Structure 1
Amino acid sequence: MPEPVDQPPRPATAGPLTCPRCGREDRVTGVGAAYLAAKAKLREETGTGEESKVTTREENSALAQALAPAPPEPAGTARSCTATLLLLGAVGTFIWGAIAGKWLSRDSAERWIPGPSGDGHVVVDPPLLHLAWISGAALALAVLLFVVEARITAKWRRRTLPGRGAADAVWSTAWYCARCGTVHFTGEPALTLQQFRTRVWSAGDYGDLARRHPAI
């Protein structure tokens, strides 16, 4: 994005919509409106005929992410999916071991082995203890991943939620110029998207996160 340098003086009759960089207002909108307009809605259609299914999901564009009043919530999809798979594996391994190894009941593990002359003897199948270890390890790892995910999300909320009101109050008074790609507040010079992000997030007391999440 171009830096707001060498800005022309604002006309004496300039209103709040007038961009301090280009001196025009035909492509200036409120930051809130620009943010919502930048959110892309993707339409997906699967199947054919009567079995077809249409789903719509919302995806933030680069501009929407740059204008966001707060840092994005940590994406824990990979951790959650891995934990779910491990949990299912732990349950499946335990059930398999319980049926094949018969470790839940010693009597059910007894088998009659007939002999060649009609006699025979009883044998006891040993439990499949290695399956128990695999099941337990998978369960422990799944629980650990769920706990890590919960702690990361809780930390993010503690940092952002208390200051969101103050950040939104500053964010909602700004204007975005689509021609210059800059943001301004009434009567002030134009700001780059990164400068705007730092100002808004600092109002919410999480401005240090702006360096970790640079705007476009």
Structure 2
Amino acid sequence: MQIDISCPRCGHDRGVQSVPAAHAEGVSTSYGTEFTTGVGITPAGLVPIMGTTTVDRTHTTALARSLAPAPPRRPVGRLVAIGLVLLIPDLLALAPITAAILQDDQVGLLSTLFAAVFILGILAIPSAVAFSLVIGRNRFNDRVSRGRRAAYAVWSSGFYCHRCGVAFWPLSPAPNIPARQGFIPEHFRWFVWNAGDYVNA
């Protein structure tokens, strides 16, 4: 069966490309080295550090971004590290709090425990915020991963006309996907992300 891939707007098939090919054409990677400087801490004090690093960069055109099959994953590694670093004041406060609890004093054990829980709770707020952001990002990433297969089926069957700047489907790949109708890339992406159930994620 011959599929008509001519653009529904201009009627030409010259300049029409599959959406995966148009997306791949707009994504490139460059490699290079950069000179870096910094400060190191040694027993003798602060020491300047200089060196080079290898850098990988991904360049994405506006068209490739607007035809993306899924939103990018949200990184969580740095937030986890920040949350753990922000727990250090809690850990440092444990020793004096433990010493205060073990001491015989006239304030009473209950008051000391209440003060200890209050202080540790206040010190833990920044790390709790960081970890709650990690949980939110993990939920988002899981939702995108679950819907990626359904969205990819819709995305990969689309075509893009470079002459008119519209994307379309020659045949409807799923229910509620209109065939032979031109959409600007952002509307095309909405249909794809909606098929993956992460359009509002």
TM range (shorter): 0.5 to 0.7
Contact 2:144 2:196 survives alignment (8 Å): yes
- The CA deviation at 1:24 is 3.1
Q: 5+ residue gaps in structure 1? A: 1-12, 105-132
Contact 1:163 1:204 survives alignment (8 Å): yes
Q: Deviation digits for residues 147-192 of structure 1, max 9, x if unmatched?
A: x123212321453333321111111000112232210111612111
Q: 5+ residue gaps in structure 2? A: 37-50, 100-117, 172-179
Give the match for residue 141 of structure 1: 126
Whichever structure has more strand as a proportion of its residues is 2
Identity %: 30
Give the match for residue 15 of structure 2: 27
Question: Which structure would you say has the larger Rg?
Answer: 1
Q: Using a 3 Å threshold, how does the CA distance of structure 1 residues 60 and 137 change in structure 2: closer, same or farther?
A: farther
> Matched residue pairs, number?
165
Whole-Å separation in 2 of the counterparts to 1:152 and 1:199: 24
Q: Deviation digits for residues 86-115 of structure 1, max 9, x if unmatched?
A: 245666xx29x97xx8x87xxxxxxxxxxx
Give the match for residue 140 of structure 2: 156
- The CA deviation at 1:61 is 3.5
**1:9-88 counterparts in 2 under 5 A?**
15-16=4-5, 18-47=6-35, 51-74=51-74, 79-80=79-80, 82-87=82-87
Whole-Å separation in 1 of the counterparts to 2:60 and 2:119: 41
- 1:202 matched to 2:194? The reply is yes
Q: Root-mean-square deviation (CA), in Å?
A: 4.0
Q: Using a 3 Å threshold, how does the CA distance of structure 1 residues 54 and 26 change in structure 2: closer, same or farther?
A: farther
Whole-Å separation in 1 of the counterparts to 2:146 and 2:3: 36
User: Normalising to structure 1: TM-score of the pair?
Assistant: 0.57
Whole-Å separation in 1 of the counterparts to 2:183 and 2:72: 21
Contact 1:30 1:174 survives alignment (8 Å): yes
3-state DSSP class of the match of 2:149?
Answer: helix
Contact 2:3 2:170 survives alignment (8 Å): no
Contact 1:30 1:172 survives alignment (8 Å): yes
- The CA deviation at 1:42 is 4.2
3-state DSSP class of the match of 1:145?
Answer: helix
- 1:184 matched to 2:176? The reply is no
Whole-Å separation in 2 of the counterparts to 1:134 and 1:157: 34
Whole-Å separation in 1 of the counterparts to 2:31 and 2:64: 18
Whole-Å separation in 2 of the counterparts to 1:54 and 1:33: 29
Whole-Å separation in 2 of the counterparts to 1:14 and 1:22: 17
